[in-house]
Amino acid sequence: MKTSKRLKVTILILVIILITIVSFLGVYNVASFKNDNLIKSYQVGMELEGKKVVRLKVDDTVNEVIYDSEGNKVDKKEEGKEYTTAQEPVNSEESLNKENYKKAKEIIEERINFLEVQEYKLRFNEENGIIEIEMNNDELTNYVISAILQKGDFKMVDDETKETLMDSSSVKKARVVYNTTEAGTTVAYVDIEFNKEGTKKLEEISNIYVKTTEQVVNDEGVAEDKTVEKNVTVKIDDNEIISQSFGEPLKNGHLYISIGQGTTTNEELQRYALQASIYASIIQTGNIPVVYDIEQNDYILTNINENIIPTVAIIFLIVEAIIFVVTFKAKGIIASVLQIGFVSLLLLVLKYTNVCITMEGLFAIVLASIINVAFIYKVFKKNDSQKSVNENLIDFINKSVPILIIAIIFCFVKGVAISSFGMTLFWGYVVSLLYNIVFTKGILKNI
């Protein structure tokens, strides 16, 4: 019986040691040239990673515009024709006012939120319209900058006459959707949903801009069929997204625009999805009344980095181990091992649940660690270990319900700092409960 108990305790302790090694040291692919760590990295906030600072100013560029004899803008002059030129600012003087600056700031913030930027800070000067944005420097950053710099003039135009058929006033909302084809590839789409008037107009357009077959007489006098395609072009500002005709009437008020090609790789799909998100964010939020230009685009390093997470954990584990050994002597070593295993497992869980750890999240790790120390301390104070674990688990659940409720509420707060605290504390509670049922109870039962 004693041998069986020793074996169970040994196995549990070895598992704890394994979890600790994986959590703090990682698992490396020795076959890889770079010896890559197979364990995920922490997802951290700006304070722990560094930040991108983008400063936007109202564009004061003045362009030379060319007009033909009929007063139409042209790209370049042709010989034998008369033209006039004029100096025109990108932003007219009438548009440079506080109301437009404020509206521009609101739209830019809407686009940032639409693109689901986890953490950002926005500062705004309503006197001169300057906007300064701080955000994480990751693969999403350049897409966000691209989205907020575009004015966002959405139009559907006749491909030949360039007549505007619909604009952003007809749009109800836009989003990104996906579809898997019979070939097994996945396609990202921008789904543009139109309002009531736009739905009617879209149906009319889809009935007009179609492929038709006409019978014509060729040079040899023989009648033959010829396919005639009448296209509509979807544009944002001066950038063409797609030019197409319609195969059937669109009666449900939705226009689906495919972005890129169908793919089976996550990397390509993510790239197409990000591009689709840019288009959707611009179409959804409408025109920015003022054109902006980048005045500053810098990456600012932080004095601390994600290494502070395991460093803080190790410091607290050393302090807790000293307290346990001083209090419980030899049994304090077992208590210390249990606490090390809990912290190690919590850090692993935070990596794989993609919790964005900010300084507030780091504080939640410390708080969860202290709560678990209090639990282990109470268990080791009792004589009957098995009964003590059961009693304290029930007591832990009863007394920690308010903490769990607060953590869950904080998880859904919009600010990343508070949500980081809430999510970290929530996983700390879950891991503590399950860990103590499996490891603390399992070890003390067999000692």
Q: Domain ends where: 300, 324, 354?
A: 300
Instruction: Show the DSSP H helices in 353-384 as ranges.
Output: 359-381
Question: Does 113 lie in the same domain as 68?
Answer: yes
Given phi > 0 = left and psi -120 to 50 = alpha, else beta, which region is 414? alpha
311 shares its domain with 289: no
Scanning 50-170, the segments in alpha helix (DSSP H) are: 98-114, 141-149
Instruction: Examine the domain organization and report whether 233 and 319 are in the same domain.
Output: no
Question: Residue 371: CA atoms inside 13 Å, Cβ hemisphere, count?
Answer: 26
The pLDDT, as a whole number, for residue 348 is 95
Which DSSP state fits 382? S
Give the residue numbers spanning the domain of 140: 51-300
* Block residue for tokens 């410091």: 315
Helix (H/G/I), strand (E/B), else coil: 386: helix
Contact 141/52 with Cβ under 8 angstroms? yes
Question: Which residues does residue 131 pair with via DSSP β-bridges, in sequence order?
Answer: 56, 124
Q: Is residue 85 in some structural domain?
A: yes
Within a domain: 77? yes
**pLDDT at position 356:** 87
State whether 235 and 371 are in the same domain. Answer: no
The answer to whether residues 327 and 181 belong to one domain is no
Residues 151, 235, single domain; the answer is yes
User: Are both 260 and 376 inside the same structural domain?
Assistant: no
Q: Is residue 284 part of a domain?
A: yes
Q: Are residues 190 and 221 in the same domain?
A: yes
CATH number at residue 423: 1.20.1640.10
CA 409 and chain centroid, separation: 21
Asked whether residue 239 falls in the same domain as residue 160, the answer is yes
Closest by Cα among 52, 51, 56, 53 to 295: 56
What pLDDT score was predicted for residue 11? 92
Residues 423 and 384 in one domain: yes
- Indicate whether 46 belongs to any domain: no
Judge whether 348 lies within some domain. yes
Residue where a domain terminates, one of 273, 300, 327: 300
- Check whether residue 240 and residue 334 sit in a common domain: no
Residues 6+ apart with CB under 8 A from 409: 422
CB 206 within 8 A of CB 246: yes
Domain tally, the chain: 2
Is residue 321, in this structure, part of any structural domain at all? yes
Answer with the one of 276, 300, 324 that is the final residue of a domain. Answer: 300
User: Which residues in the chain show pLDDT less than 50?
Assistant: none
**For 117-162, what is each residue's pLDDT tens digit?**
888 889 999 999 999 999 888 778 888 998 898 898 899 998 888 8
Whether 326 maps to a domain, the answer reads: yes
Q: Are residues 354 and 213 in the same domain?
A: no
The answer to whether 136 and 116 have CB atoms below 8 angstroms apart is: no
